[in-house]
Amino acid sequence: MAEGTKRSRLLSAVDALLESASPLPVPAERKRLREAHGLTQEQLAHAMDVRRATVSAWESGKAEPRQPEREAYGHLLAKLAERHPGADAGHRQAPARPEPSAGSPAARSAHRGRGTSPATLERMFSTLLHSAWRLESRSRYAWHERRPEYTAFVTGRHVHWDLQSAWCRNRREQTALGKTFQRVRVIDEPYTECQLYLLLQNTPRNAASGEDVRFLTRARAVELELPREDFWIFDARTVALFRFDDTDDTAGVEMVTSPAEVLRYVQVREAAWHHAVSQERMADILGV
């Protein structure tokens, strides 16, 4: 009896040891997976109940997570890897696998496009044939926070928009030709200062220039299983997918043209646009 109990205890201890020593992706892959899902280090640190510097150390290889954080972190990374498979981004070695089937996440990843320049992206707003649609899912955008209008907003001063700017003129000219520009902005609860600025100040400028802007709460976006990605869809044929760095600034734009992959984003558009609400309704929901 005592021998059986000891054997069971030893086996349990070995299982626990193996579990605690299970390998994690290499540091560079940890960072890639987080960024691919649109998460900041601050958001991950909050979820893991650690400091942002700790997450930074995990992603730079300066430190390794300990239990119980290691188990939770490993679970997160495994789930992110399922949603955002990479080419050979430093995963731990695995047995050779057959070629991914058409339409699988791995196959979609293989059909990703290359990066494009800001000038090329800007030209697309003039050369599009009929529509441009945007999903904005981030909690903050560094480029908005650098604008003088944002500074005026957070300091309680009057926000003045130049509706004769090149950006506003382009939108009006294109909408006059019958083209449509639409956006869905996702708002956290509680909302961030940047999101409140976009809701109350930036959206009226967009509307005055011919855009139709609607909103979803984060909870609703999660319920709809929308990706935490930021992108434009042009003419339901090309997707411009934004990449961001740890400071919430744009790190590049990737063009996606594979029909199967574009279709996935078009399906996201259909779900988001169907359930999104007006600026006025979102302001009422948030009580602002």
In one-letter notation, the amino acid at residue 174 is: Q
- How far apart CA 263 and CA 256 sit, in angstroms, is 11
pTM for the full predicted model:
0.62
Per-residue pLDDT at 27: 87
| CA 202/CA 193 separation, integer angstroms | 12
CA distance 266 to 142: 27
d(CA 148, CA 205): 14
Average pLDDT per run of 10 along the chain, which is 288 residues long? Answer: 65 56 80 89 87 86 84 88 66 38 41 73 94 97 95 95 94 96 97 97 96 97 95 96 93 93 96 97 96
pLDDT digits (tens, 9 = 90+) for 176-221: 999 999 999 999 999 999 999 999 999 999 999 999 999 999 999 9
Residue 22 confidence (pLDDT): 59
pLDDT, residue 215, reads: 98
Task: Say which residue the tokens 């382009």 belong to.
Answer: 170
Say what the pLDDT of residue 92 is.
39
Predicted pLDDT of residue 242 = 95
Q: How many CB atoms lie within 10 A of CB 98?
A: 5
Give, for 217, the enclosing helix (H) or strand (E).
strand 212-217
Give the separation between CA 158 and CA 152, rounded to whole angstroms.
6
Which among 107, 114, 110 has a CA at the least distance from the CA of 254? 114
Per-residue pLDDT of 245-273, as tens digits, reads 999 999 999 999 999 999 999 999 999 99
